[in-house]
Structure 1
Amino acid sequence: MLYFSKLKITLIALFTLFMVMVSSSNFLDLDLDKQKKIKLGLDLQGGSYLLLELDNEPVIKQKLQSKLLEIKDYFKKNKIKILSLKLDDKLIKLKVSKDDVEKVEEIFNDKESTINPYYFQYKAHQLDVKINSDVFNLELSKYGIILIKNASLDQAIEIVRKRVDEVGTNEPNILKRGNDRILLELPGLDNPDRIKSLLGKTADLAFRLESKTSNESFGTEKLKLIETGEELLLSKRVIISGDNLVDASPRMDSLNNQTVVSFTLDRVGSKRFAQATKRNIGTRLAIVLDGQIISAPVIRDVIAGGSGQISGGFTFQSATDLALLLRSGALPAPLNIIEERTVGPDLGQDSINAGILSLIIGFLLVIGFMTLKYRIFGIIANFTLIINLILLISILTLLEATLTLPGIAGIILTVGMAVDANVLIFERIKEETSKEKNNLIAFDNGYSKSKITILDANITTIIAAIILFIFGSGPVKGFSITLCVGILTTLFSVFFIARLLTSIYVKINKHKEIIIK
């Protein structure tokens, strides 16, 4: 029936009033710390768009290297002689004596670890095994590669977020794309050069000692000192890495009057650093960042305080950026920028103006049509439509959604669909009033019998919007969100607010003839 209890009327009124207050935060500057607002996308406020791709080749090789060591330790523990074990590109090649082939084959094929003491659980290690005579070729399975890529991408997103946040970028949008790409949207930033510079560095920090001989057990390599171009022969042994850093910050060294980066180590790093400096007084300690030596001071005394400084002819800006990189941690793999777009604020403002103008024109045409066609009920539908838009804006505000130009298109489509629901109801009521003399029954039948049709049409649209959200990206997601939320607010406004206002009017005029043209 058209009857609404006082409790239901009160709840509808309170809910609507609350939503009006929420939506008003987008238009009133209340100067609150936690004031929620709808964010504007790049196409509306301008900014930079970067699509980054993670180069997982080093991560995969590092993973295979660790698998190789695991296999070596496992076979040694179980007293199986290895003739050769090496990493060839993305393949681990294991060669054993012909006498041990059957035993090793059993290791990789047996599924019952409780029966076979040699069971290596290679499937748990994400390895595929191919046997060729006495040579076993092991490579990462497709599932193992996917796991590695997902893990490194999650880690990279977290580090990118730290770096971007520390630069002070306003409300960046960082999204995962597939299993090796990151979408970075920087609203309001029209010159992303500094961000690109920071993201282009892996920030893999290592403290390594200069080696006097190339026959060192850990291996050696020659690297260049950035400041002078001097080549130093370094041990591959890492004394401490960036993982041991607790904090890093730029400061002025008053003794040398130059900018340096001071750092603090964790407990493990402090202990290792103290031991290394104690044993190697007089030796140069190279500070290596992404394969280049940024500083190589000579150890003059034991450094036991767990802190130190990095010098290298820094400007204050470069020292600040280096400290930022060290604080945020090293990327698991290099990031490459494969797509870049910049939208100017003027173009964004033009998009806003065009979108608002389209919405106003469409809104006024709908209001004019509904008023001329249905008179008082058209006015009720128009008022409901205004409430519908307020509800839509308030929900987007609570979600802190990012509004894009396709999102505005979704709002405009919502206006049309909201009117469509009212038209269906009013046309159904016209049929009922021609058969039923009791206005209350006729109007109630009109709402009840049109409900299924309206629900069917809107639910199928919601399903389409959900599919767009799941499989779409960027602007498509923005359109699907506003469309989906708009449909839900339309159903609420039509079957609660419009129906409530209609019931009030019909009850007041229940003894008069009510005609819907």
Structure 2
Amino acid sequence: MTPTATWKTVLIALVCLWGIVAATPNVFYGKVERHNDAVAELSRAERAGEVLPAAEAEALARERGLWPDWLPSALMPLGLDLRGGAHLLARVEVSDVYKARLDGLWPEARDALRELRDQVGTVRRAPSPEDTLRITIANPEAIDAAVAAVARLATPVVTLTGAGQNDIVVTKEGADVVVRLTDAEKTATDNRTMQQSLEIIRNRVDQAGTREPTILRQGADRILIQVPGIGSAAELKSLIGTTAKLSFHPVLRTTTDAGASPGARNMLLPARGQPGLYYVLEETPVVTGEQLVDSQPSFDQNGRPAVSFRFDGAGARKFGDYTAANIGSLFAIVLDNEIISAPQIQSHIPGGSGIITGTFTVEEATELAVLLRAGALPAGMEFLEERTIGPELGADSIAAGKTAAIIGMIAVLVYMVASYGMFGWFANVALVLNVIILVALLSSIGATLTLPGIAGIVLTMGMAIDANVLIFERIRDELREGTAPHRACQAGFERAFSAIMDANITALLTGFIMFWIGSGPVRGFAVTFTLGVITSMFTAVYVTRLVVELYINRTRPKQIVV
């Protein structure tokens, strides 16, 4: 056979060597996983400038020492069906954002109409549906001027589909100016809301320290959340199921009457840990959680769990100005329409830093800090489906997957040796390297391994052998025609190549389509299947050829049996 170029031989050997080294961490999965967790925690503490307690730092150092730092440590993350964990399907209440959007527009519309006070008279906000802002003016004769003034607040919709359209439409109904969001703005708002919800959920889950979550948008207003390794669906819901909208409001008075009328533009809210006590607050907050830049679990002056916070520049100025002007007044801290604390302002608080106290446990303070740091969800969520998959079921799935893979590989190895003798052993070497390189690739890109993924690996074994079967059958045909062994092997590889390439290109197209159209388990299968096709091409065409070439060129056999 014509010898393979030296650079090709070296390249093939390096790829095989890399595959063996990169796949090795998966053999010691538990140790490497603990090593990676320790490295991540130490890196986080170093970036934050945090000094860990001596006992914790020593424990992390021991965990880090379980695997050498100079070796690859990338693993194939285990999916929900293998590790166990929680599955949620949530619907985002995107319509909630319409109300917030129009509530934010009301002060601007009021200021615009105040400039026309001589024409329109007094201005007030009238009751209306949540997706509508209705403004009543005292002088109906000036309704056209009022509509024109409010219409100037419209801005273009910044999307490709909404090009040329404004965000609001302003009409008149009697003495009322009616403001509604346009369809283009609603679509853009829905997309922004979903994208923001996805990012905030991902931040909350990541900050809780869970591994390799799957967080995907499904349809117009649904989000799929799968988190391996978490205890239960209830635990996951407690982490992401609240909007965590934080705001700071002036307190007008307290009452024990749950049905008391708070008055216009005020609200009546209960106090956490104080049954029967209600606070009447101004509806417009002084500052909101959107202006928070940091929150951390801490302890108050009495050693009780609390949450410290810090505002950005604008929030710090508002917070400082209000506390300076309202010393002695109560100031309510509201989280998701519940007052978690209502301290009295003792002095001016400059710098925009403070502390939230209350009846917290250490776990509750930590969870609240995570929620606030990750940001507020823009809208509420309704959970349509929730499942908890126990680790025992995941362990059973892993054992079943291993058994299936081992049985499949043994069957293929035995078949190849029985059918092609020594050449069957050559193919088996390539098959083993194919699986090793595939595992190395999946580990390197961080592809999550699921049960369908294991099925893709098992299928790859069969497909890898298909290419070898084509090559060996072509060699048999050449030998039957009396071709010399070295020429028969050369011709077998060359003439089978086009058929192998055609078959694998169609398989790759199938894999790409499954990945593009599919979701969840289908995508998991598509990833391993597509990568398996690529690795089987490499091992069948190049590795097997190199092994056969070394055998033929060194032994110079007069005849071979294939």
Indicate whether the TM-score tops 0.5.
yes
SS of the equivalent of 2:559 reads coil
Whether 1:246 and 2:293 are equivalent positions in the alignment is yes
CA offset at residue 88 of structure 1?
Answer: 3.8
> Offset at 1:231?
2.2
Other-structure match for 2:542: 496
Larger deviation, residues 398-407 vs 482-491: 398-407
Question: How far apart are the structure 2 equivalents of 1:119 and 1:277?
Answer: 35
Residue number among 186, 204, 221 corresponding to 1:180 in the alignment: 221
Paired AA for residue 202 in structure 1: T
Q: Does 1:483 pair with 2:517?
A: no
User: Which residue is equivalent to 2:93?
Assistant: 55
> Following the alignment from structure 1 to structure 2, what is the Cα–Cα distance between the partners of residues 179 and 32?
46
Instruction: Report deviation, 1:156.
Output: 2.2
In structure 2, which of residues 189, 193, 198 is the aligned counterpart of residue 148 of structure 1?
Answer: 189
- 1:402 maps onto 2:448 in alignment: yes
| 1:110-147 Cα shifts (integer Å, max 9, x gaps) | xxxxxxx9996575555485989999976545543333
Question: Residue 81 of structure 2: SS of its match in structure 1?
Answer: helix
Three-state SS of the structure 2 residue aligned to 1:182 is: strand
Of the three residues 427, 450, 471, the one matched with 1:381 is: 427
Note closer, same or farther for the CA distance 1:225–1:137 as it changes in structure 2 (3 Å cut).
Answer: closer
Whether the aligned pair in 1 keeps the contact of 2:459 and 2:529 (CA below 8 Å) is yes
1:35-50 equivalences under 5 Å are: 35-50=73-88
- Corresponding residue of 1:3: 3
The 1:300/1:76 distance shift into structure 2, 3 A limit, reads closer
How many residues get paired? 506
The change in CA–CA distance for 1:67 and 1:210 in structure 2 (over 3 A counts) is closer
Q: Which amino acid aligns with 2:494?
A: S
Q: CA deviation digits over 1:247-269, x for unaligned, max 9?
A: 333434345x6433333333332
Q: What is the CA–CA distance in structure 2 between the aligned matches of 1:395 and 1:82, rounded to whole Å?
A: 70
User: Which of the numbers 499, 517, 521 marks the counterpart of 1:471?
Assistant: 517
Name the CA distance, whole Å, in 1 between partners of 2:183 and 2:474: 58
Offset at residue 202 of structure 1 (A): 1.2
DSSP-derived class of the 2:225 partner = strand
Q: Which moved more, 1:219-228 or 1:119-128?
A: 119-128
Residue aligned with 1:333, SS: coil
Question: 2:550 and 2:104 mapped to 1: Cα distance?
Answer: 75
Q: Is the 8 A contact 1:129 1:136 kept in 2?
A: no
Residue 187 (structure 1) shift: 1.9
Percent of residue pairs identical: 37
Relative to structure 1, is the Cα distance of residues 233 and 76 closer, same or farther in structure 2, using a 3 angstrom cutoff?
Answer: closer
- Tell me if structure 2 keeps the 8 A contact 1:218–1:235: no
Gaps of at least 5 residues in structure 2 are: 32-65, 158-162, 255-259
* 1:281-301 C-alpha deviation (Å, 9 max, x unpaired): 332211111111122223333
Residue in 1 aligned with 2:49? none
Among 293, 299, 321, the residue aligned to 2:345: 299
Secondary structure of 1:294's match? strand
The answer as to 2:484 corresponding to 1:448 is: no
**Secondary structure in 2 aligned to 1:201?**
coil
Shift of 1:212: 6.5
Matched residue, 1:231? 278
Does residue 163 in structure 1 map to residue 204 in structure 2?
yes
Residue 82 of structure 1: how far off its partner (Å): 7.7
Q: What is the CA distance between 1:488 and its match in structure 2?
A: 0.3
- Does the 8 Å contact 2:249/2:334 carry over to 1? yes
Indicate conservation of the 8 Å contact 2:12/2:542, yes or no: yes
Partner of 1:31: 67
Could you say if the C-alpha distance between residues 354 and 99 of structure 1 is closer, same or farther in structure 2, counting changes exceeding 3 Å?
A: same
More off after superposition, 159-168 vs 383-392: 159-168
> Is this contact kept in 1: 2:327–2:348, CA < 8 A?
yes
Give the partner amino acid of 1:155: Q
Q: Which residue of 1 aligns with 2:315?
A: 269
Check the 8 A contact 1:206/1:287 in 2, yes or no. yes
Contact conserved, 1:224 with 1:230, CA < 8 A, in 2? yes
Is 1:312 aligned with 2:339?
A: no
| Mapped contact 2:244–2:376 kept (Cα < 8 A) | yes
Q: Which amino acid aligns with 1:19?
A: G
Q: Deviations over 1:16-35 (max 9, x none)?
A: 11111111121145614671
TM-score of the superposed pair, with normalisation by structure 2: 0.79
1:208 aligned onto 2:249: yes
Letter matched to residue 468 of structure 1:
M
The letter of the residue matching 1:58 is D
Letter in 2 for 1:400: G
Alpha-carbon shift at residue 404 of structure 1 (Å): 0.8
State the alpha-carbon separation in 1 of the partners of residues 119 and 553 from structure 2.
95
Q: In structure 2, do the counterparts of structure 1 residues 329 and 367 end up closer, same or farther at CA, with 3 Å as the change threshold?
A: same
What SS is found at the alignment partner of 1:39? coil
Task: Decide whether the 8 Å contact of 1:385 with 1:419 is kept in 2.
Answer: yes
Letter in 1 for 2:217: K
C-alpha distance 444-127 of structure 1, shift in aligned 2 (>3 A): same
Asked if the contact 1:127–1:138 (Cα under 8 Å) also holds between the matched residues in 2, the reply is no
* Superimposed CA distance per residue, residues 60-89 of structure 1 (whole angstroms, 9 cap, x where no aligned partner): 222344466667777888999889997644
Q: Is the 8 A contact 1:23 1:391 kept in 2?
A: yes
57-66 or 37-46: which moved more?
57-66
Secondary structure at the aligned position of 1:314 is classed as coil
2:18 aligned partner, one-letter code: F
Shift of 1:334: 1.6
Point out where structure 1 has 5 or more consecutive residues left out of the alignment. Answer: 109-116
- Counterpart of 2:283, as a letter, is K
Q: Against the structure 1 CA distance between its residues 437 and 225, is the aligned structure 2 distance closer, same or farther, given a 3 Å change threshold?
A: closer
Return closer, same or farther for 1:284/1:164 CA change in 2, 3 Å cut-off: same
Aligned residue for 1:473, secondary structure, equals coil
Helix, strand or coil for the counterpart of 2:267? strand
Aligned to 1:18: 18
Contact residue 260 and residue 314 of structure 1 kept, 8 A: yes
* Aligned-residue RMSD, C-alpha: 3.6
1:362 partnered with 2:376: no
Normalising by structure 1, what TM-score?
0.86
Q: Which shows bigger deviation, 48-57 or 494-503?
A: 48-57
Classify the secondary structure of the residue corresponding to 1:26: helix
Deviation for aligned residue 1:509: 5.1
Displacement after TM superposition at 1:363 (Å): 1.3
The 8 Å contact of residues 88 and 233 in structure 2, kept in 1 or not, is answered as no
- For residues 376-420 of structure 1, the C-alpha deviation after alignment (integer angstroms, 9 at most, x for no partner) is 111111111111111111111111211111111111111111111
- For the residues of structure 1 that align with 2:5 and 2:447, how far apart are their CA atoms? 35
Residue 179 of structure 1, CA deviation: 4.5
The CA distance in 2 between the partners of 1:238 and 1:394, in whole Å, is 54
Does the Cα contact within 8 Å between 1:261 and 1:323 map onto a contact in 2? Answer: yes
Pairwise CA distance, 1:497: 0.5
